[in-house]
A and B are shown apart, each in its own frame.
Chain A
Amino acid sequence: MGGLSSRHLLEIEALNSRDIDTIITTAQSFKEVNERVIKKLPTLRGRTVVNLFLEPSTRTRTSFELAAKRLSADAINMSGSALATVKGESLVDTAKTLDAMDCDLVVLRHAYAGSPHILARTMRARVINAGDGKHQHPTQTLLDLFTMRQHFGRIEGLNVGIVGDVAHSRVAGSLLPALAIMGASATVIAPPTLLPARPDVLGAHVCTDLDSILPELDVVYMLRVQQERLGRSPFPSLREYAQLFGINSQRLATLKDEAIIMHPGPVNRGVELSSAAVDTAKNLLLYQVSAGVAVRMALMYLLLGGEEDGFAA
């Protein structure tokens, strides 16, 4: 049957490999739709999707909004100072208000880990986590998996290196368990100051020397240096970080022929990727963005369609 084993998408561990396969194959159909002249389907006509973004975001919010609109759902964006939370309303009260307005799906971006769970417990509507604090960013992970599958034809057995700020990254927070679910091998590559105190909890290989491992990787996943999240400086300078953990022309040359460079965006040019590396990886980085719309369409379709199919709710 269609549908997923979960009513919401709060964290990646709620999905099994069959669910992820379903999302990827469904997204492939939507990718075709996004390549048409008329990029619109009537599938979710009459449904309401609320994008509740309590943290600044442009690309993720735009991607969700496009996904909803291409499925003919009514998309409402609530973000920034327009929000009642600024006036002191609690998340639970906001949730009840949205429920009273009969919305079908809430996409939540929030600065605190676990807030999508609160929403899901409180609301009748379905909830998608669009990034919660330093916890997870599951839709980013699904579009990353989609991109890997499209490029390699498989995810299982891939050797994926995740480079950078693993300790603060919600992208890594959901990518690592997802790779385990899909049977890929993960290595985190970062200075010890950007790793959790106990890196063994990550369930991945840990490496502090990028050059030693680069030739073995199929996917080099560069995390953004989130300067807004770095409190005390974990490395002496951006320049030094770029020299030790950035991809530049010399390092590009040591990659496997079929290896790919991925980045969740936006890229700090000259830090994670040198300008030359950005230009080499550009097509795939843009592919990730367009895959994002298709994957989010697939999620909305799978979460909002087939309500009477008997979800494990």
Chain B
Amino acid sequence: MNSTTTIMDAKAIDRAITRITHEILEYNKGPEGLALVGIVTRGDILAQQIALRIAQIETMQVPVGTLDISFYRDDVAAHLAPELHTTSLPFDVNGRTIVLVDDVLFTGRTIRAALDAIMDYGRPAEIKLAVLVDRGHRELPIRADFVGKNVPSEPGEHVRLFLEQVDGRSSVEVWKAMPGERIGSAPVPSSTTKAGTTRTSHIEATKSDTTRTSREETT
């Protein structure tokens, strides 16, 4: 069976969020012009918590937005988001310093999608990235500016953040994935041909003249 290792508990997560908050304020020299954007479904909660701490430290409320990147994924053809969440950026993006907040930084594809999504709202002065856990294995040239904890991990492992608000407990846990299981937002590791090569056998399909050749069968 799978053995699960807890690498951060509620206390550790709390401290990491507090430190990230201070780092953001230090970098930005205060809360002016700042906006936080959390990626659903854990990043938005982290963003709220950072905003709460900023309010305590600086007595100023920074705007917080939430982002669902489902429509910006690079693998829409491969799978759909099981559940869509609303995107709401209740502030003018133009000219702001935006701190994008996510739970676990892995391949970087989610962040790539989030950057595109934010750009569709306007032209921020800059976008910084805060993550609670950086687990490595990037597939894109993306790096986090504020990191709660670096967790060296195997590609075949799950590294996941659980939060009191949605999961009933706060922790970061690592466990081995089942074969063929999706890990984070990474594509399913399997031997089946992926989109892009699905149409190569077009000529064969016409040749065999079967009227009902589905795309699945032509691969």
- Interface, chain A (partner B; CB < 8 A): 1-3, 25-26, 28-29, 32-33, 36-38, 40-44, 71, 100, 102, 121-122, 124, 301-302, 304-309, 313
Contact = CB atoms under 8 A, between A and B. Distances in A.
Contact of B192 (A3, A32, A308): A308
Contact of A29 (B87, B211, B218): B87
A102 B198 CA distance: 11
B211 A43 contact: no
B91 interface: no
Contacts of B218: 124
A121 B192 contact: no
Nearest to B68: A29
Contacts of A306: 76-80
A26 B76 CA distance: 14
A308 B78 contact: yes
Interface residues of B, number: 37
A303 to B, nearest CB: 10
Contact of B211 (A25, A71, A121): A121
Interface string B189-203: 000101100110010
Nearest to B120: A38
B139 interface: no
Contacts of B212: 121-122
B165 interface: no
B71 interface: yes
A29 B214 contact: no
Given A29-B87, A307-B195, A38 B80 contact: no
B215 A100 contact: no
Max chain A C-beta neighbours (<10 A), residue from B68, B80, B81, B116: B80
A122 B210 CA distance: 9
A1 B82 contact: yes
B80 A309 contact: yes
Nearest to B209: A96
A179 B71 CA distance: 30
Contacts of A25: 84
Nearest to A2: B80
B167 to A, nearest CB: 21
Given A40-B120, A100-B206, A305-B80, 15 more contacts: A1-B82, A28-B84, A28-B86, A29-B70, A29-B85, A32-B87, A36-B121, A42-B116, A102-B199, A302-B80, A306-B76, A306-B77, A308-B216, A309-B79, A313-B214
